Structures are given as structure tokens and as C-alpha cells.
């Protein structure tokens, strides 16, 4: 598929559809295409991280997640963006995959400071605390 003339928003929509239907390699290829055209596309970074994490490539996922957090935090009111807390939780999941449990816990707690009723952050934090007593 020639994606050179396709607007980034359309590519991202296609990538999400592919991702949602389990066609991860094709979705990842579109996320990479998006990032080549728009390196600061936080959502493409975040969803590419999810694919890397789900496939056990947590080192790559960690690097990409740190970049997404930095990009979003550098925006005006970036930490107030609801995506920031979601990305913190995703990064916590990646860090758990790398067995950096204390760092993951800190990210879940930071996400909860930003969004106190964020169910996924509560769930992940609780599971991690339960796992290690």
C-alpha cells in the first residue's frame, strides 16, 4: 500500500483498525510510517509501544515510551492531558515486563496523582502490590 500521500490522521485510523483486529505487524508498519512523517505523534508512539510490549520487546517499548512521555510533557499542559496518565500506566506495564517493579509502581502512583479515579492505574498498582505483598 502506498501511504506517501495519505494524511497522517487517516494512516493513524487505519493503524488503529489493524491493531484492533490483531494485525499487529501491519499496524506497527503504519505507526512507523506515521512517525517518519510526524516524529512527535504521541499516539503512534504509544500504540507502537503497546505492540512491542505485547510481543515481549520491552527494551524497545521502554525507549519509545520515554520518548512519548517527554514529548507530551513538553507540550503546554501536557501532564494535564488524559493521555499522559494513560501513557504512564502503559510505561509501568513495560517496566514490569523488564522486572523494574519499583519504577512501575512509581509510575502507577504518578498516574493516580494526575487522575485519581483511573481504574487501570488502581488495578495495576493493586496487582503489583499484591504480587509482592
**What SS3 string covers 63-111?**
HHHHHHHHHHHCCCCHHHCHHHHHHHHHHHHHHHHCCCHHHHHHHHHHH
Question: What is the spatial distance between Cα 103 and Cα 100, in angstroms, rounded to a whole number?
Answer: 6
Query: DSSP class of residue 38?
Result: -
| Per-domain residue ranges of the chain | 8-131
Cβ atoms within 10 Å, residue 104: 23
pLDDT for the residue numbered 132 = 83
pLDDT for the residue numbered 3 = 59
8-131: CATH topology is 1.25.40
3-state secondary structure of 50: helix
pLDDT for the residue numbered 2 = 52
Residues 67-125: pLDDT tens digits?
Answer: 888 888 888 888 888 889 999 999 999 999 999 999 999 999 999 999 999 999 999 99
Contact 15, 44 (CB under 8 A): yes
131 burial level (CB within 10 Å; 0-12, 13-18, 19+): exposed
Amino acid at each position: 500500500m502506498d501511504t506517501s500521500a495519505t494524511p497522517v490522521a487517516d494512516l493513524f485510523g487505519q493503524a488503529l483498525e489493524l491493531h484492533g483486529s490483531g494485525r499487529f505487524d501491519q499496524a506497527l508498519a503504519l505507526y512507523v510510517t506515521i512517525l517518519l512523517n510526524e516524529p512527535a505523534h504521541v499516539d503512534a508512539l504509544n500504540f507502537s509501544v503497546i505492540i512491542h510490549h505485547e510481543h515481549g520487546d520491552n527494551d524497545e517499548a521502554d525507549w519509545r515510551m520515554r520518548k512519548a512521555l517527554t514529548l507530551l510533557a513538553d507540550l503546554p499542559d501536557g501532564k494535564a492531558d488524559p493521555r499522559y496518565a494513560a501513557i504512564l500506566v502503559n510505561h509501568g506495564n513495560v517496566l514490569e515486563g523488564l522486572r523494574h517493579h519499583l519504577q512501575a509502581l512509581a509510575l502507577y502512583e504518578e498516574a493516580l496523582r494526575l487522575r485519581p479515579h483511573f481504574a487501570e492505574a488502581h488495578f495495576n498498582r493493586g496487582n503489583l502490590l499484591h504480587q509482592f505483598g
